[in-house]
Amino acid sequence: MLKNITIGQYFPGKTIIHKLDPRIKILITLLFIFSLFFIDSFTPYLFVVAFILTSVGLSKVPLKFILKGLKPLLIIIMITFLINAILTPGEVLYRLGPVKITIEGLRQATFMALRLIFLIVGTSLLTLTTSPISLTDGIEKLLNPFKRIGLPAHELAMMMTIALRFIPTLLEETDKIMKAQMARGADFESGNIMNRAKSLVPLLVPLFISAFRRADELAMAMEARCYRGGDNRTRMKELSLEIRDYLALGISFVLLGIIILFRYFI
C-alpha cells in the first residue's frame, strides 16, 4: 500500500511538460482545481479528461504510475460515494430498512467521485514533472509580492518543498520498519480495525526518531554548505517565461472558460 503513494515523487524527463516554467505549472494546477469546482454537469468532464490525457501523453509519465496513486485513497472515494448516494434526497431507487438510495444520490455520488479522481490525477502531474529545486523557485517567485507585508517567501517555499520531498522518504522508511517488525513476528494485516491500529503503535517511535534524525542531518548539511536563504541567494538557472509557457497557460484559461460557459450559459 505504501508503495502506491506517489505524492512528492518526481519522474525525470525532458518533455515539454517537464520544461514548462514551474510558476506556470503551479498556476495551471490552481486553475485546474478551480475549474473542477465550477463543474455542475457531466459533459464538461469530457474536456477535463481530454486535458488530462493530453498532459499525461506529453509528459510521457506512465498512466499506470499516475493511477497507482489512487489506490491509497480508494477508501476515501468509496466513503464519499456512499455518503452522497445515501444522504441525497430524491426518487428512491433502492431501500434497505432506513437506508435508501436515490437516483439523484447516485448521480451526485458519481459526480463527486469523478471530481476527486480528476483532482488527484491532475494535481499529481505537478510534482511528477517538477523537480524539488524548480518547485521551490516557482513557489518563491509567486510568493515574492507578499514580501511587502512581511511574508517570508523563501522560507515558506523551502519548508513546503522539503515537506513534500520527504513524503516518499518517510514512506520508504515506514516500509522498512514494517518489514523489520514483521520479521520479528509483528502482524499488521489480521484482526479488526482497532487491532490493526494498535499494531501500528510500535512503528511510531522508530519512525519519529528517524524523521528527527533526518531533519537534523539535513540542517547540518545546509549549515556545512553555508546555506543562507533570502534576497542575496543566487541561482544557477534563472526562471524565464517562453512561448510554450504562455500557450500552456492560455489552454488552461480556455478550459476554465469552457467550463464556465457550460455552467452559466448552456
Residue partners of 40: CB distance under 8 A and separation at least 6: 263
Structural domain total, the chain? 1
Q: Which of 138, 129, 127 is nearest to 163 (CA)?
A: 127
- 24/19 Cα distance (integer angstroms): 11
Per-block mean pLDDT, blocks of 10 residues, the chain (266 long) = 62 91 94 91 92 93 85 85 87 81 89 91 89 83 83 79 76 80 73 69 80 86 78 72 94 94 86
The pLDDT value given to residue 188: 66
The pLDDT value given to residue 174: 80
Residue partners of 242: CB distance under 8 A and separation at least 6: 21
The pLDDT value given to residue 8: 63
- Asked if residue 136 lies in contact with residue 158, where contact means CB atoms within 8 angstroms, the answer is yes
The pLDDT value given to residue 40: 86
Q: Which three cell numbers stand for residue 216?
A: 537534523
C-alpha to C-alpha distances, 166 to 141, 182, 211, nearest whole angstrom:
22, 24, 9
The alpha carbon torsion through 163, 166, 168, 174 (nearest 10 deg) reads -110
Residue type, 106: L
Domain that holds residue 173: 2-264
- Asked if residue 263 lies in contact with residue 40, where contact means CB atoms within 8 angstroms, the answer is yes
- 254/238 Cα distance (integer angstroms): 28
Q: Is 201 exposed, middle or buried (0-12, 13-18, 19+ CB in 10 A)?
A: exposed
The pLDDT value given to residue 261: 92
- 182/191 Cα distance (integer angstroms): 15
